[in-house]
Structure 1
Amino acid sequence: MTSKQRSYLKGLAMNIEPSFQIGKSSLTPEFTEAIAEILEKRELIKINILKNCADDGNVLARMLSERTRSEVVQVIGRKIVLYKPAKDEKKRKIVLPE
């Protein structure tokens, strides 16, 4: 992903509300599966890390990215933004700049 594409996705992510919250139980297989499903539908999601979660945001973002085969757009404080293009090109809502 180029810096121009990442910047474009950051701009889009500013206007969306967090879809999930990571709490004390951190990343469970069910949580990861739910994120993978919603990524397929929405392509771009924001995740909020609650204060009772002891894990580092960058580590969580990297783990989620690997498990869902998505891209980490950004990690700011306790918020993670992930992007994964839809498999079917006809269903893609987000068109990245070249």
Structure 2
Amino acid sequence: MLTSKQRAFLRSLAVNADTILMVGKNGISDDLIQQAGDALVKRELIKGKVLTETSPISPREAAEKIADATKSEVVQVIGSKFCLYKRNHKEPKIILPKQSRK
């Protein structure tokens, strides 16, 4: 579970990230899930887009379904774009801010 500080940090990284995942008229397929999973292992943070004029599902639904299937976390959904994060435990690329202890 991400804290608000970690989520804000990931959002700042996502601003400059390329959109590599497109959800179109076919919705979410097994190939799309596989592509997202592979990208998350390699990059840890990915940005996707839902082609709202042709896609049968909303950007929020797409982000949540892909996150559930890849065991990742939804960082944000803005308009038709969304960001997902999954830590690579073998070779971490993104160092998140520490959780503050109360």
Which interval holds the TM-score relative to the shorter structure? Answer: over 0.9
Please list the CA deviations of residues 13-69 of structure 1 after superposition, one character each: whole Å capped at 9, or x if unmatched.
Answer: 000110111100010011101110110000000001113113111111111111000
1:58-77 paired onto structure 2 within 5 Å: 58-77=60-79
Structure 1 stretches of 5 or more lacking a match? none
- Give the 3-state SS of the residue equivalent to 2:56 in structure 1: coil
| Cα separation, 2, equivalents of 1:45 and 1:54 | 22
Superposed displacement of residue 93, structure 1:
0.9
- Give the 3-state SS of the residue equivalent to 1:75 in structure 2: strand
1:1-98 paired onto structure 2 within 5 Å: 1-50=2-51, 51-88=53-90, 91-98=91-98
| Cα separation, 2, equivalents of 1:62 and 1:11 | 20
Q: Which amino acid aligns with 1:79?
A: K
| Cα separation, 2, equivalents of 1:27 and 1:87 | 26
Higher fraction of helix: 1
Q: TM-score, normalised by structure 2?
A: 0.91
Q: TM-score, normalised by structure 1?
A: 0.94
Question: Could you tell me the percent identity over the aligned residues?
Answer: 39
Please, what is the CA RMSD of the aligned residues?
A: 0.8
Equivalent pair of 1:39/1:84 in contact (CA under 8 Å): yes
